[in-house]
Structure 1
């Protein structure tokens, strides 16, 4: 298989970082490519500020390091790495938020995308480290229910501070002790169901995918939200799939929802995500089911819900704020590390060993000097809001913008 340019450039960066400087011809020999290819890569990398180039050789930029190997979090050109499963739709706002928090601190954000291929996450993270990242914001490319267990141990072994983005992990696992910032999707589902039941609808149906951590969290939150409202669930979740990838599966979901409406079993539904919700509304109209006349509908994500023919009421996770707070938390960890408070001679401020505590303790070290201990790890959970529009009856009796 032919090596991708980004992988080759990551290897090139790693070589230069280890050696400090290298001739282009030597790099070509070690990488097994032509000098012309290396020159092209060097031109791209120097243009992004990742390398310095002088007279046929390249060097690691001196401004990255201070004497003694330390640096402060406000130093010029501090690099934060961000590993995300996508740069579009949901994660576009997360990335923007992280950039907005990093820039005022003089930090530069470097991005790697894994396209929801969790097996490629370690290589992408290695690329970020080779590019000079001193801390990582990590949203693993987990997709199915078993991905977290199969593709998570590597995160705990990272040699730099790590903050998880929009990912929850079970207690006691290797990642449980890491900092993380995520949306409370159970609360988001509760907002939607409370709004619909408050309008007099019986237990709303849930139509949802099962191909992302957000989708799985929405499914889990559905049962919890019904219990919190004291509502008996109507019927199992209607499983949805992307219409462009599985037209027949998508049509089955539409027909199941139509049948529930036609039989009187349901008058309201929550649909994850926006794109599926818009397409379902269009297809239901072709089948004679009108929103909101026959079905009150709330979408989940609020990326494009407002652009539907009938603007869709939608749950809006605080995506941009997730990115902002995660980047600020990572900068704080880097500051602690630079000042000697975050490392303390241990790995507790990093990925490696971050989730491990002594068997006899509860996250504390016996007889440790309190003044030398790092700040506690944080699990920051942000609440979604509900943006009320026309698809659930124009929000009658709720005002125009319920937030819960």
Structure 2
């Protein structure tokens, strides 16, 4: 399998951490990639404060502890993520930064949302020396935890789950975990639209990830909490590039709901889909926010739309950071009778133009 950028970044950081400093040309040779690729990687890592860059060389930041130096833990942490892009890119970044501050080395494996490969990839992390694990299984469907998650509870090292909520009472429910409270995020969105004078918004959502499932259940909880009823059934969303006909059908269903007066507002998961929906609605004569107030979920690229999209922003980077800090703390107290923790972080609502309440201008 081709190495991801995040995996290459981890190897690059490991080389610099071990040596203290290194030339870009030497790193390119060690990593087996071109100097152009290394320079691009170094620029990104330096921008995140993980490396210092000077005249063709890079060095470990002076204010960051070395892996085995004074103040460093010398720990090796393993991380399993379903993707190194979109949502999980920020989770990984937060974990990298927290590991660097702790003087620990973070190694990464990506499952590409193939939960049947999670176990083998995690064994690879353990073989590479991981003393503790951050695990975000590649689950996509409600039955995946039962089918592909039983092995996690028997891992031989301390483990923290990331952005995954196992079934209550299951063995996995007894593990440390750090998650975003997506139900709270949906409530923020629904309440904001209602406060602007709309009735209950429609939900257009995917069903291919734990976040999507949580958004759907959170929508039901939000409506119940606010004493509202859904204007119609949830519109099933699919990526336009993977299923163009199904995507068009979903957009047409939303257009019909607007034209018939069923709804004047909508929440769409995720914001890549939301941008494409807005573009297609414009072609069909539906304007955002004039005809439809719209909020996206995830806030990865929502601000870049022609009409910047109001969006719910899960604390992705903080999830990675807090999970890593929890794992480092757990490794430092092995054998101690300390309670497991379920840490829940609250998303924020970032108000922009698409819901009809323009964001403040500087």
Larger RCO (alpha carbons 8 Å, 6+ apart) = 1
- The structure-2 alpha-carbon separation of the partners of 1:74 and 1:170, relative to structure 1 and needing over 3 Å to count, comes to farther
- The structure-2 alpha-carbon separation of the partners of 1:184 and 1:400, relative to structure 1 and needing over 3 Å to count, comes to farther
The Cα offsets for residues 339-376 of structure 1, whole Å up to 9 and x where unpaired, read as x42xxxxxxxxxxxxxxxxxxxxxxxxxxxxxxxx210
C-alpha deviation, 1:73, in angstroms: 12
Over the aligned positions, Cα root-mean-square deviation in angstroms equals 1.9
CA–CA distance in structure 2, aligned partners of residues 73 and 208 of structure 1? 49
Q: What SS is found at the alignment partner of 1:270?
A: strand
Which of 144, 156, 159 is equivalent to 1:159?
Answer: 156
Task: Say whether 1:83 aligns with 2:80.
Answer: yes
Counterpart of 2:350?
387
C-alpha deviation, 1:172, in angstroms: 1.0
TM-score, length basis structure 2: 0.80
Task: Say whether 1:192 aligns with 2:189.
Answer: yes
- Once the two structures are superposed, the pairs formed by residues 266-285 of structure 1 within 5 Å of their partners are 266-285=263-282
The Cα offsets for residues 253-278 of structure 1, whole Å up to 9 and x where unpaired, read as 00000000000101000000010000
Asked if the contact 1:138–1:165 (Cα under 8 Å) also holds between the matched residues in 2, the reply is yes
Which of 256, 262, 272 is equivalent to 1:259?
Answer: 256
Asked if the contact 1:84–1:141 (Cα under 8 Å) also holds between the matched residues in 2, the reply is yes
Question: Of the two, which has the highest radius of gyration?
Answer: 1
The Cα offsets for residues 101-153 of structure 1, whole Å up to 9 and x where unpaired, read as 11111101101000000000001101111111100000000011211111110
CA–CA distance in structure 2, aligned partners of residues 217 and 196 of structure 1? 20
Matched residue pairs, number?
Answer: 300
Task: Say whether 1:378 aligns with 2:341.
Answer: yes
C-alpha deviation, 1:394, in angstroms: 2.4
Structure 1 residue runs of 4+, over 4 Å off? 71-76
Task: Say whether 1:232 aligns with 2:229.
Answer: yes
CA–CA distance in structure 2, aligned partners of residues 187 and 318 of structure 1? 12
Which of 292, 295, 313 is equivalent to 2:292?
Answer: 295
The Cα offsets for residues 8-31 of structure 1, whole Å up to 9 and x where unpaired, read as xxxxxxxxxxxxxxxxxxxxxxxx
Counterpart of 1:175?
172
Structure 2 unaligned residues grouped into runs of 5+: 4-29, 33-67
Asked if the contact 1:206–1:271 (Cα under 8 Å) also holds between the matched residues in 2, the reply is yes
- Once the two structures are superposed, the pairs formed by residues 96-245 of structure 1 within 5 Å of their partners are 96-245=93-242
C-alpha deviation, 1:171, in angstroms: 1.3
